[in-house]
Amino acid sequence: MSQLFDLTGKVALITGSSRGIGRAIAEAMARQGAQVVISSRKGDVCDQVAADINAELADQAGGAVAIPAHIGHKDALQGLVDQTRKLLGRIDILVCNAAVNPFYGSMTDLPDDALDKVLDINIKSNHWLVNLVLPEMIQRKEGAIIIVSSIGGLRGSAALGAYAISKAADLQLVRNLAVEHGPHNIRVNAISPGLVRTDFARALWENPDVLAARTAGDPLRRIGEPEEIAGAAVFLGSAAGSFTTGQNFVIDGGATIS
């Protein structure tokens, strides 16, 4: 049983991993023995996160390297993959976590440039990055791909329309990839968090009154923490999840059932 979640010898590339859910996933995977790639736009922040992980795990198998990249640029993603292979030799686990939401409000007021940015970053970049990593996974007949979606992709929204559309599309991307690449022993799954205490969702939890109203109908009556999402990613990337593919793991304190 102790080996089910062991990631020793695995390399995990995690986008948007300098903070929030992405950082929590990177830390959890490194603690299970993986070498993790910390990646976001800001190189100095990536360096600090990698240094913190390496300091914590100095005498253990897991560790981290920092490779900054702008996921909206295909050539930057190619560089991210190439540099990961140069430094760590391979990519066993890909976690597509980075996302944007530049507009909050009615879709009738949604500017075209905001719509384009959401679709490009939240969908197209995942498609690009997956296809850059797939060839080596197909060759090895092994790999795990995790796309971080959202419960926004499961229900309608009056204020997060474009974001919700992109997250619903990510869920279909997962299903398509799972069907296409399952014969190569490549598992593809999604995680859909509810409200989690991250900078990305700060507007929904910073004000105590807003947070109380937002969580009043949820069974657990509270906001989630990034670390509470990370365990699912470890499960999906490890031997424990070896018979799991095409699924969406909803981790939302019960918000979508109430």
CATH code of the domain containing 184: 3.40.50.720
The helix/strand/coil state of 12 is strand
Residues 73-92: b if buried by 16+ CB within 10 A, e if exposed? eeebbeebbebbeeebebbb
Answer yes or no: is 130 within a domain: yes
Answer yes or no: is 232 within a domain: yes
Query: Would you state the pLDDT for residue 105?
Result: 94
163 a catalytic residue: yes
Which DSSP letter does residue 123 get?
I
Q: How many domains does the chain have?
A: 1
Answer yes or no: is 1 within a domain: no
Answer yes or no: is 219 within a domain: no
pTM (2 decimals)?
Answer: 0.96
pLDDT tens string 152-208 = 999 999 999 999 999 999 999 999 999 999 999 999 999 999 999 998 888 778 888
pLDDT tens string 13-64 = 999 999 999 999 999 999 999 999 999 999 999 999 999 999 999 989 999 9
Answer yes or no: is 217 within a domain: no
Query: Would you state the pLDDT for residue 51?
Result: 98
Residue of 103, 163, 205, 235 with catalytic role: 163
Report the distance separating Cα 46 and Cα 58, nearest Å. Answer: 18
DSSP string, 206-225: SSHHHHHHHHTTSTT-S-B-
Domain span holding position 171: 11-195+227-257
